[in-house]
Structure 1
Amino acid sequence: MEALVTEWLPWRTAMERALYGERGFYRRGERPAEHFRTSVHASSRFAAAVARLLADVDAALDHPSRLDLVDVGAGSGALLTNVLACITPELRSRLAPTAVEIAPRPPGLPADLSWRPDIPRSFTGLAIANEWLDNVPLDVVEQTPDGVRTVLVDPSSGAERPGPEPSADDRAWLDRWWPLTEAGDRAEVGRPRCAAWGAVLRRLDRGLAIAVDYAHARGSRPPYGTLTGYRDGATVPAVPDGSCDVTAHVALDACAVEGERAGATATVLTTQRSALRSLGLTGARPPLDLAHRDPRAYVAALCHAGEDAELTDPNGLGGFGWLAQSKHIPLPVTLTTPPH
């Protein structure tokens, strides 16, 4: 079997090539909605909640002449497009929307929507990274009888074998955030995700940054890791050959500490269910008498209730983690007040 393998790579290198290399999954313009269901594509109600946060940030910044909205890992640009449809004309006139995405710009987006492969060097306003950090490549390690070893993978088949010891920096991260004790236990070294999130905060001058993702906390890390592949709406083996999305859950608690090192002045870690319910997506059914008074309004409200329910389902999208960190403004009350 190994004789057929031409190259054994650390998972971080293999993921980087498979997702972002010359013929990588995202480099060739694959869209997340084609392979897995995201909050953005589940309902425009998600964008409405982001628009409310944007208004809160605008008020906290005292309505600047230019307000940035940066979508990191923008995919098709659907979130930005939907947010623009939800805000007032006055706010729209001051808003500078930016999509950060390595895939080619799709047709039909608003002309003033900037499309770029990297985070702006400096911006003021709101940055949102929805299911971005889970695609930042990372290494996988395993506890073996000989100690912790970096896992090597064959990109063409997904076959694995133990490799060298982790670097000193990776060991320090593991010791703090994901210590391994039992033989066979695995961890995904989230240090590159922390660095990526720190870069967002360092470039944010004033405002709010939010990361939304599959997440876990130090006290409940999955013992065998979370590497997963997605293709055509189904989970598949995580083979880093460019044919599928390769993802792993995010240690948002570790990212939060890096954000604070990068200058965040306030932090909240919560769930999507709690955040969206505080932002008005309650999922409550409309009163029945509305069906008699205004049938169209009743049907619309009923649709909204169903969409809210999907976005806040604790066993689905509602179970996502939300990391919100502000810089030189208070956190919006909507994120710090428990929903009723």
Structure 2
Amino acid sequence: MTISNLDSLRRDSDLRLIHALQLEPRASWTELGRALATDPVALARRWARITDEGLAWITGQRRHFPAVAIVEIECAQGKAAETASFLADEEIVRTIDHTSGGRDLVAVVAATDLESLSAFVIDRLGDQRLITHARTHLVTEVLVEGSAWRLNALSESEAQRVPRAKPPRPRAARQVPADLETAIVRELYRDGRTPIGDIAAQAGVSNQRVADAIATLRHSGDLVFRTDVARSYTGWPINAWYFVQVPASSIDRLRSTLSRLAEVRLAVTTASRYNLVMSLWVRDLADVNRFEALLEKVLAGARIADRAVVIRPAVHLGRLLDARGFVTGLSSFHDDPAPPRSGAGQ
């Protein structure tokens, strides 16, 4: 067996585990071992290697931000990298991509309210000599979010064997105190698989109280988990942003239509010159144009007003990325002592 064969087998095994963790990010290794017919200890070791290499990661976060925007940024000549570094230090910034086309960067920003969002894009960005122009597209509705995207590395029967999150115990408290919720989210934002015992030790409460709180928050939708993977490791290495004008009469059909397209990672309606902004993963550059034809076919009257290919990722949902999209660390968003209820993400 050649080295490339071994690498291919390892990648296939990695993607199967990552897909299982997309279905239930906090499933135990024993449960995953039964679902994947693999030794639980081997799975735990595999996940440790995957995370050490920055190939995939799990995030626990609150669900919705009240104010989200897609911001196109044009930078002073030669200042794109410095601008991305500046943005990565801003707690409000969730995602940063270096792109081709009529902008240097595309950023996703999210805030507790419209006033905070406005202060950032008008005052903070407007005061930066690194930035020559910024166009803000205020998100009005999230149609498709990256947390729902799946690798499809498992068969249907294997995917069905992965256990889903259990509901709260009947005796569990129905409300979680704000300080405990913040402590839980802080730890799970760092690592969505942080053991309950570690969280309990940090919060100074019992293991059972933390387990109940997590179950309650998940059941209410106030806490969500997502498993992300480096795009270059998935077989979908090309990321493109589309800025689309869609007839108002087609908006109601967008959610069901776009959710059936495997390439769509993020789709939002916006109050701007474009009323639909999307982020897609495709297999090669030629697919960027092929998808345009498909989209205009399935969305009658849609017009691709502009598009941008990501030439280098910088930040994804608070994770710092290298040129391959592998995680190298956490951005400063993680340090927010009371992160707002979470929001749109690729």
TM-score band, normalised by the shorter chain?
Answer: under 0.3
Length-normalised TM-score, structure 1: 0.27
